[in-house]
Chains A and B, each alone.
Chain A
Amino acid sequence: MSDAPAHLTTADGQPLQTALARSQARLRRRAFLLVAPLFLFVLITFVVPIGQMLFQSVYNPGFIEIENRDTGEVTPLMTNVTAWFEANPQGTAPDEAAYAALAADLKHLKEMRAGGVVGERINYDVPGTRSLFTSSVRNADKLEPPYLESVPAADARWADPLVWRAMRSASSGFTVQFYLNALDLTRDGNGEIVRIDEKERVYILLFTRTLALSAAITAICLVLAFPIAHLLATLPLAKSNLLMVLVLLPFWTSLLVRTTSWMVLLQSQGVVNDIMVALGIIGDDGRIQMMYNRIGTIVAMTHILLPFMVLPLYSVMRPIPPTYVRAARSLGATSWTAFRRVYLPQTLPGIAAGALLVFILAVGYYITPALVGGADGQLISNLIAFHMQKSLNWSLAAALASLLLFGVLVLYWLYDRLIGIDNMKLG
Chain B
Amino acid sequence: MKKILTVTSALIAVGAAASAQELNVVSWGGAYTKSQVEAYHKPFTEMTGIRVNSIDADNPVVPLKAQVEAKNVTGDLFDIELSDAVRMCDEGLLEPIDPAMLPPAPDGTPATEDFVPGALSECAVATIVWSTVFAYDESKFPGEKPSTIADLFDTTRFPGKRGLKKGPKSTLEMALMADGVPAAEVYAVLSTPEGVDRAFAKLDTIKSDVIWWEAGAQPPQLLADGEAVMVTAYNGRIFDAIAAEGKPFQIVWDGQYMDFDLWAIPKGAPHLEDAMKFLAFSTDTQRLADQAKWISYGPARKSSSALVGLYQDGKTEMAPHMPTNPANMGNALVNDFEFWADHDSELSARFAAWLAG
A: which residues have CB within 8 A of B?
Answer: 69-70, 112-117, 120, 123, 127-131, 134-135, 199-202, 205-206, 267-269, 292, 374-375, 378, 382-383, 386, 389-393
Q: Are A383 and B345 in contact (CB under 8 A)?
A: no
- Residues of chain B within 8 A of A200, CB atoms compared: 350, 353
- Which single member of B212, B346, B350, B352 contacts A386 (CB below 8 Å)? B352
- Report if A131-B342 is in contact (Cβ < 8 Å); known contacts: A375-B355, A389-B62, A392-B69: yes
Cβ A131 vs Cβ B353 within 8 A = no
CB distance from A367 to the nearest CB of B (A): 14
Closest to B357 in A: A202
Which of A134, A206, A375, A383 touches B90 (beta carbons < 8 Å)? A134
> In the complex, what residue of chain B is closest to A388 when comparing beta carbons?
B66
Nearest Cβ in chain B — how far from A182, in angstroms? 13
Instruction: Give the chain B neighbours of A390 by CB distance below 8 A.
Output: 62, 348
Report A180 CB to chain B, min CB distance, Å: 15
Is A120 touching B357 in the complex (CB atoms < 8 A)?
A: no
Whether B90 contacts A115 by the Cβ 8 Å rule is: yes
A382 → B minimal CB distance (Å): 8
* Apart from A69-B267, A206-B356, A392-B65: 6 A-B pairs, beta carbons within 8 A: A69-B92, A134-B90, A199-B200, A202-B353, A374-B212, A375-B207
**Complex CA–CA separation, A134 to B341 (angstroms):** 9
Secondary structure at the B interface, as helix, strand, loop or mixed, is: helix
> Are B342 and A130 interface neighbours, CB within 8 A?
yes
From residue B168, how far is it (CB to closest CB) to chain A in Å?
12
Whether the Cβ atoms of A134 and B342 lie closer than 8 Å is yes
Q: B66, B200, B352, B354: which has the most chain A beta carbons within 10 Å?
A: B352
Kindly state the interface size class of chain B when it binds its partner: 35 or more
A-B contact pairs, 14 of them (CB 8 A): A69-B68, A70-B267, A70-B268, A127-B346, A128-B346, A199-B197, A199-B200, A200-B350, A200-B353, A202-B352, A268-B226, A391-B345, A391-B352, A392-B66
Q: What is the minimal beta-carbon distance from B101 to any residue of chain A, in angstroms? A: 20
Q: In the complex, what distance in Å separates the CA atom of A112 from the CA atom of B90?
A: 10
Q: Is the CB of B91 within 8 A of A116?
A: yes
Q: Are A202's CB and B356's CB within 8 A?
A: yes
Residue B87 interfacial (CB < 8 Å): yes
Establish whether residues B346 and A123, one from each chain, have CB atoms under 8 Å apart when the complex forms: yes
- Distance in angstroms between the alpha carbons of A236 and B226 in the assembled complex: 47
B181-217 near A? 1/0 per residue, CB < 8 Å: 0000000000001000100100000010011100000
* A130-B343 in contact given A202-B356, A390-B62 (Cβ < 8 Å): yes
In the complex, what residue of chain B is closest to A198 when comparing beta carbons?
B357
> B93 at interface (Cβ–Cβ under 8 A)?
yes
- Alpha-carbon separation in the docked complex, A135 to B346 (Å): 14
Q: Residue of A at shortest CB range from B339?
A: A131
Whether A378 pairs with B356 at a CB distance below 8 angstroms is yes
A117→B91 contact, CB < 8 A? yes
Known: A201-B357, A375-B210, A375-B356. A113 touches B90 (CB 8 A): yes
Closest chain A CB from B200 CB (angstroms): 8
User: What's the Cα separation between A134 and B89 when bound, in Å?
Assistant: 12
Q: Is the CB of A69 within 8 A of B211?
A: no
Chain B residues, Cβ within 8 Å of A205: 356-357
Binary interface encoding of chain B residues 298-322 relative to chain A, with 1 for a CB under 8 A from any of its CBs, else 0: 0000000000000000000000000
Q: Does B11 reach chain A (CB closer than 8 Å)? A: no
The 8 closest A-B pairs by CB, nearest first: A131-B342, A202-B353, A116-B91, A113-B92, A269-B226, A69-B267, A116-B90, A375-B355
* Most-contacted residue by chain B among A292, A378, A390 (CB, 10 A): A390
Closest Cβ neighbor of A70 among chain B residues? B267
Residues of B within 8 A of A128 (CB): 193, 346
Determine the distance from Cα of A391 to Cα of B349 in the docked complex, in whole angstroms.
Answer: 7
Q: Which of A113, A123, A375 is the most central at the interface, judged by chain B CB atoms within 10 Å of its CB?
A: A375
A267 to B92, CA, bound (A): 44
Q: How far is the CA of A384 from the CA of B68 in the complex (A)?
A: 20
Instruction: Tell yes or no: B107 within 8 A of A by CB.
Output: no
Interface residue? B225 (CB, 8 A)? yes
Contact: B342 with A389, CB < 8 Å? no
